[in-house]
Chains A and B, each alone.
Chain A
């Protein structure tokens, strides 16, 4: 049994919402490849990744729901698009395969750093869940890394498309590390191990050797660092319309 001090609930809720929304949105984006991925093995892989991420989102919405007394399904499906707090990196539309790989690599490499900063935190429900998540996310990071390598080393169109995707994502690449409202309270409570600015530096150091090895341009600082989880764009509104369509078709239905 782990002793748990009363957590700073408002700040903790912001953290959980940002993480849950990240996992939910990338998981749903992954699922768009089911049936149409460029290789059969990738069809299986993207579908499995989607299942993992939506499972992670469900667990995080579950914690958020217990903390705030809200139904996890309502958290996932009943909010307006502007109330989601996923990072802008995940706002870009599915695009081509290179875009999917570029986004996945940037997100997965950042997610691993964020999870490491939460492992061993003082709020045990989250720390325990994170202990499980890191074991699964490691495979996601490996998958994205293998594809980044493959596209970057291919001459011609694959590399050109990857460079174009990275350029489109560049202004939002670092938005996983957007400072959270109430972040100081999370640091003081020992829930989050380091400030987001410091985690971003860790992330940059972690991907720099790969980017240098593949001769890819490192992502610049975020375009608008304070608003990295706000101002969602039309591509997300479209995705929101997709993932809420069944729920909205018959509100309150049970299955």
Chain B
């Protein structure tokens, strides 16, 4: 890992090795990156509980020291001031405690999390929950208009009826990662993931 990586948060979430969450793995099960990532599919984001941390795209790096060594997970905060960060770190550490090894979860800004990192499955889960997912491609996701300003009116489809006749009501929403929009056809307000 990069020593230069920014470790934010005072405490690094360390799990007690035998936390006993009733999900202990068989003694001889291999512990590799794939096994860790599979387990992380069960760790949901606290503010978007329909999304796992993997589908949200915040899992940056998984390192497993061979033998009985450390499991180290590096995550990318969605927003610098995300208040859920410590809870997410703790949730990951608690889930991985089932592997019976020391676990360390740290946050880094080595690369910026962007809304493009949300997986196709994650986008579908958001849509099903009535939250408009961000656009899939880069320019669309950023909503950039000429001159580098953000396009206030990108054609974000309504998650309820699919209409593209929607407008931005507030670029700031109930959490840092969401905006509030309104659909002119079904006349419903809805939340959309803020493109960053």
Which residues of A does B touch, CB under 8 Å? Answer: 1-2, 4, 41, 44-45, 47-49, 51-56, 58-59, 62-63, 72, 124-125, 128-129, 131-133, 135-136, 138-139, 142-143, 146
Contact = CB atoms under 8 A, between A and B. Distances in A.
A129 B109 contact: yes
Contact of A132 (B5, B109, B170, B171): B109
Interface in B161-183: 169-174, 176, 180
Contacts of B110: 128
Closest 8 CB pairs of A and B: A55-B81, A48-B172, A124-B4, A45-B172, A128-B109, A135-B196, A132-B112, A41-B170
Given A2-B4, A128-B110, A135-B112, 13 more contacts: A1-B4, A2-B2, A44-B170, A45-B170, A45-B172, A51-B81, A55-B80, A55-B83, A56-B80, A59-B6, A59-B109, A72-B10, A128-B111
Given A131-B112, A139-B194, A52 B169 contact: no
Nearest to A54: B81
Nearest to A58: B81
Q: Which of A48, A49, A143 gathers the greatest number of chain B CB atoms within 10 Å?
A: A48
A58 to B, nearest CB: 7
A59 B80 contact: yes
Which of B2, B77, B114, B180 has the largest number of chain A CB atoms within 10 A?
Answer: B2
A199 B176 CA distance: 29
B6 A142 contact: no
Interface residues of B, number: 33
A131 B5 CA distance: 13
Interface string B75-89: 001011111000000
B14 to A, nearest CB: 18
B150 interface: yes
A53 to B, nearest CB: 8
Q: Interface majority SS on B: helix, strand, loop or mixed? A: loop
Nearest to B107: A59
Interface of B: 2-6, 8, 10, 77, 79-83, 108-114, 149-150, 152, 169-174, 176, 180, 194, 196
Contact of A44 (B149, B172, B194): B172
A41 B169 contact: yes
Nearest to A4: B4
A118 to B, nearest CB: 13
Nearest to B144: A138
A56 B114 contact: no
Given A44-B170, A128-B110, A135-B114, A51 B5 contact: no
Contacts of B3: 1, 4
A139 B81 contact: no
Contacts of A48: 172-173, 176
B109 A139 contact: no
Given A51-B176, A139-B194, A1 B79 contact: no
